[in-house]
């Protein structure tokens, strides 16, 4: 019997080794493994109820009706759940985020991880985390990682149906007390989205294949650095991989340049801080925000110096966070 109302909360995650390319766009299968950190304070909470009397799915985001494009994306995802559960009824989905949508703050990751957990349970499907991860991936690739807490490896997998393209936890959220500061330099959502951007890069960047070929080694090395709590090695791998992905983006035709002037100022400031002995490194996704990985000893000094960079709007202080959690009831 389906549970009527289920609420799930999922945290965003930031890739230390990036996912930028698909081996099968229809099933949303990534071309390579990736490795991320799930973070505790950037969250999506989603309540789903199965409502036979509705004429179609309803999607509310932050208390307002979502755009038709967003509603269709959610509705297509709910179709996957309806197919698996044999349930045909419309669903009501109400989501709230603790951070701005679509500005390179990984909102699709927490959104689809929370939606997968709440909608599957509400439709009566009893899925373990691995099955939820495969489901969430079909909403957004990075969402497969937010199903798990801490450091998570996303497997590209080899199966054509995508059953092995799932997240696997490398170390839980208590393994290493790092902080990830998110330095926001622009909170609008005017960039080319990841789905479109990575297909554009696959088709047009001369560096795409070289990036894809390097990913297996990067993920293995990064997993070792995480297990050994080796900050210097982790920072080196994380920055190199971020810049390699942005080289692919920038060399696409026309080029995808996600950075603004403050993004570049932040890169230089992070490197200056590291030269002065602080344990700090950066990564950047498909937007102009800079995510700054920092050890607890260096946290206060790094925050103070980031706040002084021209163009900073806001800093979110995050730390390793848990995987998706859900409960029955409104
Ligand atoms: C740059 O997971 O948003 O953040 O699967 O098409 O929804 P879709 O893409 P998405 O891509 C994330 C891209 C990235 C890097 C990363 O998180 O690994």
pLDDT tens for the 330 residues of the chain, in order: 466 899 999 999 999 999 999 999 999 999 999 999 999 999 999 999 999 999 999 999 999 999 999 999 999 999 999 999 999 999 999 999 998 765 557 689 999 999 999 999 999 999 999 999 999 999 999 999 999 999 999 999 999 999 999 999 999 999 999 999 999 999 887 789 999 999 999 999 999 999 999 999 999 999 999 999 999 999 999 999 999 999 999 999 999 999 999 999 999 999 999 999 999 999 999 999 999 999 999 999 999 999 999 999 999 999 999 999 999 985
Nearest CA residue ID for atom 4, ligand 1: 285
Backbone angles phi, psi at 156, to 5 degrees: -65, -35
Q: How many CB atoms lie within 10 A of CB 254?
A: 8
Nearest CA residue ID for atom 1, ligand 1: 285
C-beta separation of 169 from 227 below 8 A: no
Give the residue ranges of DSSP H helices in the chain.
68-85, 107-122, 129-139, 143-146, 194-204, 208-227, 231-250, 261-275, 299-307
Ligand 1 atom, smallest distance to 143 CA: 2
Q: What is the C-alpha separation between 116 and 316, in angstroms, rounded?
A: 26
Q: How many CB atoms lie within 10 A of CB 193?
A: 13
Mutate which of 11, 242, 286 for ligand 1 pocket (most atoms within 8 A of beta carbon): 286
Nearest CA residue ID for atom 14, ligand 1: 285
C-beta separation of 300 from 119 below 8 A: no
C-beta separation of 324 from 198 below 8 A: no
Distance 104 CA to ligand 1 centre (A): 9
C-beta separation of 94 from 47 below 8 A: yes
Tokens 């622009």 found at: 186
Q: How many CB atoms lie within 10 A of CB 233?
A: 15
Q: How many CB atoms lie within 10 A of CB 44?
A: 29
Distance 141 CA to ligand 1 centre (A): 6
Nearest CA residue ID for atom 3, ligand 1: 194
């Amino acid at each position: 019997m389906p549970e009527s109302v289920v609420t799930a909360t999922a945290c965003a995650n930031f890739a230390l080794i990036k996912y930028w390319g698909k081996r099968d766009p229809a099933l949303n299968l990534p071309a390579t493994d990736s490795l991320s950190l799930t973070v505790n304070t950037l969250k999506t909470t989603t309540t789903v109820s199965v409502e036979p009397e509705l004429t179609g799915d309803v999607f509310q985001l932050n208390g307002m009706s979502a755009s038709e494009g967003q509603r269709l994306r959610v509705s297509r995802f709910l179709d996957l759940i309806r197919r698996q559960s044999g349930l045909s009824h419309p669903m009501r989905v109400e989501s709230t985020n603790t951070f701005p949508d679509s500005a390179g703050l990984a909102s699709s990751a927490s959104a689809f991880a929370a939606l997968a957990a709440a909608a599957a349970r509400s439709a009566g499907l009893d899925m373990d985390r691995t099955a939820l991860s495969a489901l969430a991936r079909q909403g957004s690739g990075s969402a497969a990682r937010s199903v798990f807490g801490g450091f998570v490896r996303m497997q590209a997998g080899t199966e054509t149906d995508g059953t092995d393209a799932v997240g696997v936890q490398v170390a839980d959220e208590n393994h290493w007390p790092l902080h990830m500061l998110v330095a926001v330099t622009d909170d609008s959502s005017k960039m080319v989205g990841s789905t479109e951007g990575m297909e554009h890069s696959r088709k047009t960047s001369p560096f795409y294949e070289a990036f894809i070929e390097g990913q297996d080694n990067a993920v293995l090395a990064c997993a070792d650095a995480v297990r050994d709590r080796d900050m210097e090695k982790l920072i080196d791998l994380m920055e190199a991989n971020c810049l390699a992905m942005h080289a692919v983006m920038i060399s696409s035709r026309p080029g995808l340049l996600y950075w603004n002037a403050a993004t570049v100022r932040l890169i230089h400031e992070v490197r200056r801080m590291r030269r002065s002995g602080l344990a700090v490194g950066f990564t950047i996704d498909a937007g102009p925000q800079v995510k700054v990985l920092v050890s607890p000893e260096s946290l206060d000094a790094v925050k103070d110096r980031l706040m002084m960079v021209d163009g900073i709007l806001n800093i979110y202080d995050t730390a390793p966070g848990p995987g998706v959690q859900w409960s029955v009831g409104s």
